[in-house]
Amino acid sequence: MTTIFLFLYLLLISTATATATTLYSDVSALKAIKAAIDPTTIPSYSCLASWNFTSDPCSNHHVTHFLCGLSCSGNRVTQLTFDRAGYVGTLSPLVSKLTQLITIDISDNKLSGPIPASLFSLPNLQTLNLRSNSFSGTIPPAISNLKSIQAIEISHNSLSGSLPDTLSLLTLTRLDLSFNKFTGPIPKLPKTLIELAVKSNSLSGYLPKTSFNGLTQLEVVELSDNSLTGTIPGWFLLQQSLQQVNLANNGFTGIEISKPIDSNLIAVDVGYNKIVGNIPVNLSAYPVLSSLSLRYNNLYGPIPPEFSQKATLKRLFLDGNYLSGLPPKEFFSGKSSVSGSLGDNCLKSCPISSELCLKSQKPSSICQQAYGAKGKPKS
């Protein structure tokens, strides 16, 4: 008995490796995926045009059929990678039958409709890239069923609704949801996150500590062009692994900066907010800070000399505020290699020979009005 079973087993294995006959349910899923694309938008040179089901998708003798758009391991499809051919259509829910999928990359096409909910049950999916399509609808809480996911990129689509807190259950290192229509607060985030980008949406509320708790690998935060409010809290820039932070063009009204013990922060952009106060001098204590923008806020008072003496600082944008007094002369001594702008402020004697002062200062009438009769800023 056992020998017969062993014989049958060996026979099965050898036929599978010799011809790699694709699992039937994978073939039918691929057929459904192609059928969900408008055939008039499948150019003859494209990957999908080469999907001709008279041959077997995973067989490795392709000369004319299944030239690209998928990869297999044995008799299972592991990657779905469309070319940028401008395919119009939807993503078939039967994609979930491809249970060995590791990668979906159908970026830069014209697929629309919702992201099929069944997709979130794929147990082995590591990379989901739907960037630059026209997907709409929401991200459901069931996204947390993607147990192997590492990177989600769905920027430049039309997704809406609020982001589910279940995102925090994922083992994600990279999340890019920029250029959609998401609303509501910043959700709890995955602790494994290295890069967070939700630029150009309509997120609101403040920066919640609970969302960022325990994110010890977070390097990049890109939340510009939203409707975030409140004070940028002191703990935020103290997150030790942070390198780049962009919170520009929101509605922040304040910023708290504590001196760091250790920090990898290289670039901070909080321009185009409504931050009232003095320039936070503690920013100059960040050891490798190289690029800083506080432009177009409501900052007043002098520019602390610490910034002109900071060797790591290469770009400094302070324009569009109500900064007053004499700018630190080290900026213009020839030793400083800082570029940027100090223009559109209330500074005295900003030398126009310096690139930093190319943009002119505010008219004195506006500055007098801003500082009131006693020389103190009105709020």
Ligand X SMILES: *[C@@H]1O[C@H](CO)[C@@H](O)[C@H](O)[C@H]1NC(C)=O
- What's the CA gap between 344 and 361, in Å, rounded? 4
From the CB of 231, what's the least distance to ligand X, in Å? 11
Three-class SS of residue 76? strand
From the CB of 61, what's the least distance to ligand X, in Å? 13
Task: Find tokens 């990898």 and name the residue.
Answer: 264
- Give, as one character, the DSSP assignment of residue 37: B
Nearer to ligand X, 198 or 303 (CB): 303
Q: Which among 245, 209, 253 is positioned nearest to 228, based on CA atoms?
A: 253
Nearer to ligand X, 183 or 258 (CB): 258
For every residue of 233-299, DSSP letters joined together read -HHHHH-TT--EEE--SSEEEEE--PPPSS----EEE--SS--EES--GGGGG-TT--EEE--SSEE
From the CB of 278, what's the least distance to ligand X, in Å? 8
From the CB of 259, what's the least distance to ligand X, in Å? 4
Q: Which residues bind ligand X (CB under 6 A)?
A: 52, 54, 257-259, 282
- What's the CA gap between 280 and 34, in Å, rounded? 56
Nearer to ligand X, 118 or 282 (CB): 282
Nearer to ligand X, 182 or 252 (CB): 252
Nearer to ligand X, 259 or 274 (CB): 259
Residues with Cβ within 8 Å of residue 209, at least 6 apart in sequence: 233, 235
Nearer to ligand X, 49 or 151 (CB): 49
Write out the H or E segment, with its range, that includes residue 330: none
What's CA 179's distance to the chain center, in Å? 9
The token pair that represents 300 in the structure block:
């007043």
From the CB of 257, what's the least distance to ligand X, in Å? 6
